[in-house]
């Protein structure tokens, strides 16, 4: 199975709370570009799971529309910025019935990729806003995934 890990697009710096930060125009453009890339380089996404934070929900909705995905978007509080990776892995395991797109935040996205591909001791993978990673996953265990590719949106322009 494939696990696609997407960091949300660029967001406002200030809002009433971190959870309420919305995407900027630039962030919307970033998500549209990476979703367009994904539409030609990834197929078979069966589920979308996203953080309940506004910018992640917006990213998931834009991605779904641009990539022409028909699946529902499932919000999950276990994929917010500072959740421990092991808790996220347990939550993802419940949803891994096919190829899955997860939309979340730093530092979680980098930590999760590092945990799944190299185990807990390796350095983190860099994930800029709207960066998308594709992992081949048989089991959600440390060091058991393969990083197929990592695409930074700014490299597409």
Q: What is the pLDDT of residue 157?
A: 64
Identify the pLDDT of residue 47.
Answer: 93
Q: What is the pLDDT of residue 53?
A: 98
CATH class of the structural domain 2-156: alpha beta
pTM: 0.95
Sheet holding 47-50, edge to edge: 73-75, 47-50, 100-104, 2-7, 132-137, 145-151
Q: What is the pLDDT of residue 121?
A: 61
CA 68 to CA 51: how far, in whole Å?
20
The predicted structure's pLDDT at residue 96? 83
- Give the residues of the chain that fall short of pLDDT 50: none
């Amino acid at each position: 199975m494939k696990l696609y890990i997407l960091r949300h697009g660029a967001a406002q710096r200030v809002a009433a709370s971190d959870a309420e930060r919305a995407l900027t125009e630039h962030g919307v453009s970033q998500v549209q570009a990476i979703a367009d890339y994904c539409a030609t380089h990834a197929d078979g996404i069966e589920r979308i799971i996203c953080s309940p934070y506004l910018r992640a929900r917006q990213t998931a909705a834009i991605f779904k529309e641009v990539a022409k995905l028909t699946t529902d978007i499932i919000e999950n509080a276990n994929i917010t910025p500072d959740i421990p990776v092991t808790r996220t892995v347990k939550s993802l395991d419940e949803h891994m019935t096919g190829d899955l797109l997860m939309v979340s935040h730093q530092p979680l996205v980098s930590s999760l990729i590092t945990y799944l591909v190299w185990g807990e001791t390796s350095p983190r993978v860099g994930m800029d806003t709207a960066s998308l990673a594709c992992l081949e996953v048989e089991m959600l265990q440390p060091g058991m995934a393969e990083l197929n590719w990592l695409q930074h949106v700014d490299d597409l322009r």
